[in-house]
Structure 1
Amino acid sequence: MTIISLLLLAFLLPHLTFTARVNVGIVNGKEAKPHSRPYMISVQKNKRHICGGFLISDRFVMTAAHCWNNSDVLTVVLGAHDLRKQTENSVLLTVDSYHQPPKYNAKYTYRNDIMLLKLEKNVQLNNNIKWISISGEDVDIEAGSVCSVAGWGLLETEGKRSDLLMETKVKVMNNKKCESKWGKEFFSTSQMMCVHGDGGSCEGDSGGPLVCGDTAVAVTSFGDPDLCNSSELPEVYTKISAYLPWIKKIIGNFN
């Protein structure tokens, strides 16, 4: 896997590292070890969890574009495991600005479904709050690779949302096979990827990262509108590597 070195980008992005159903929760997963994923973010509206996200620098969170409707005021919670607890030293921050790709259209949420949230201030990193590296250019995750997803979404279709961070392992699906299941109208082999497995995402997990190794390679985007973790219509993720020029431009504008 080709990894973009932070040193090569230091002149532009000093605070960002690179390495290699709309609104979708974790089905058939298990509780994550508390704070084992210190990059995980709860994106909230009116103090209620609506989407996942992940910290990619000390000022920016990455999530799905469909998690914001142009009028919402969102906040993010960092360093949390149990969203009910106020005593685990989690941090609540306001979003200062919202950045969606120019070609994102809310009517077609399956295209360009990625967003950067600029936080009100730099995050104070600690053992429970750390950023995760994101995939570099020309990164192609081989079909069959075992990766993982996590979130605070529903535990089953139309079920209850989890207050605890849940996680599960998934396998990357061949892109052409995914395209054959969703069709070219919905699926782009250059901008998206699919996973499958015993567990997967559900409502409330949108915006969370697909993590392969120690790298976030994609953003949870959409799936079967009627069934979480469907075997017929696999969960779809937005490839981060397809948006690196845009990401570098946005973050570079604030450095």
Structure 2
Amino acid sequence: MVTLYQNILIFLQPPLTYQNSHGSDIIDGEKAPENSMQYMASVQDNEGEHVCGGFLITEDFVVSAAHCDDSSLTYVVLGNHNLKNGNHQKIKIENKIIHKNYQHVGLGNDIMLIKLSEKVQLGHGVRVIQIPPAEINLKENQVCQVAGWGKTKTEGELVDELMVANVSVITSKNCEDQWMILPANVICAGGYKTTKGFCQGDSGGPLVCHGFAVGIVSFNYYNNCKYPSKPNVYTDISKYRKWIDEVLRNFFE
């Protein structure tokens, strides 16, 4: 079993290193409609460059992926689908809280909370998105959405406009059959037997189903965005609701 896990991680690690995982890549998507998905966040470095996606869950907390963590992360930008348009809110990161059990993206627990240095002004192109109040049961082929900024093909260039794609949920059994082994607490959607999904760099963005952020973009298969390949894998937010609530409570006390 250990050998099998090591073999899989060999494939997981290259596309999720710092150099390859940044910018958000939506495959076979379209520009997000204006005034939609106002919870989307761009997590940026000290040069003002987009690093990872994220999404706003309170006025001063953004959710992203733990593997996005890097010493260069400095700002979160909200309020505009076009990252080159200056009409947005740019807020400094105060703190990053990574799940205590996170070790490597291929081992799961790929979730990070970002505490903003000040509260976001809601209603100015910015709003929060709800996360599941309890464990959810997604149905096979249920259509959800994934969004982000960046390349639209494996060797493509980053784009400034937010892109979104519809992706269908894949059952855990089917996903395990394709991956052979998966970390606990994940959701699979898109990427397998489809042309739609995310690619390297879309990390941290949400999988949105019925208006709830149910998943966090975590990993795909060996830098391959030419679908079909293996299913895309997201962190299942419902499994971390208790941890999220504890983190928020500690900061508000």
Q: Is the 8 A contact 2:43 2:73 kept in 1?
A: no
Specify every segment of 5 or more residues in structure 1 that has no aligned partner in the other structure, as ranges.
1-20
1:247 aligns with 2:244: yes
Distance 2:124 2:180 in 1: 43
Match of 2:93 in 1: 95
Q: Is the 8 A contact 2:74 2:93 kept in 1?
A: yes
1:127 shift after superposition: 4.4
Match of 1:67 in 2: 68
The match for 1:105 among 103, 108, 114 is 103
Q: Is the 8 A contact 2:129 2:213 kept in 1?
A: yes
Q: Is the 8 A contact 1:200 1:229 kept in 2?
A: no
Distance 2:110 2:227 in 1: 20
| TM-score, scaled relative to structure 1 | 0.85
Distance 1:74 1:241 in 2: 27
SS at match of 1:172: strand
Distance 2:226 2:213 in 1: 20
Cα–Cα, structure 1 residues 119 and 125, in superposed 2: closer, same or farther, change >3 Å?
same
Q: Is the 8 A contact 2:195 2:227 kept in 1?
A: no
Distance 1:74 1:208 in 2: 17
1:182 shift after superposition: 1.3
Equivalent residue runs for 1:1-255 within 5 Å:
21-22=15-16, 23=21, 25-45=25-45, 46-69=47-70, 71-86=71-86, 89-106=87-104, 108-184=105-181, 187-188=182-183, 190-196=184-190, 197-228=194-225, 230-255=227-252
Cα–Cα, structure 1 residues 229 and 35, in superposed 2: closer, same or farther, change >3 Å?
farther
Specify every segment of 5 or more residues in structure 2 that has no aligned partner in the other structure, as ranges.
1-14
Distance 1:202 1:166 in 2: 12
Cα–Cα, structure 1 residues 229 and 44, in superposed 2: closer, same or farther, change >3 Å?
farther
Distance 1:104 1:229 in 2: 29
More helix by share: 2
Match of 1:10 in 2: none
SS at match of 2:26: coil
1:109 shift after superposition: 4.5
Q: Is the 8 A contact 1:153 1:202 kept in 2?
A: no
Q: Is the 8 A contact 1:224 1:233 kept in 2?
A: yes
Single out whichever of 75-84 and 193-202 deviates more from structure 2: 193-202
1:164 shift after superposition: 0.3
1:163 shift after superposition: 0.6
How many percent identity over aligned positions? Answer: 39
Post-superposition CA distance 1:192-243 (Å, at most 9, x none): 0111243211122110000001110000010012312532211100000111
Q: Is the 8 A contact 1:157 1:228 kept in 2?
A: yes
Q: Which amino acid aligns with 2:61?
A: F
1:134 shift after superposition: 0.5
1:29 shift after superposition: 0.5
Post-superposition CA distance 1:105-157 (Å, at most 9, x none): 14x44411110000001111014100000012221211110000110021100
Q: Is the 8 A contact 2:40 2:56 kept in 1?
A: yes
SS at match of 2:147: strand
Distance 2:107 2:163 in 1: 24
Calculate the aligned-residue CA RMSD, in Å.
1.4
Runs ≥4 in structure 1, deviation > 6 angstroms?
A: none
Q: Which amino acid aligns with 1:149?
A: V
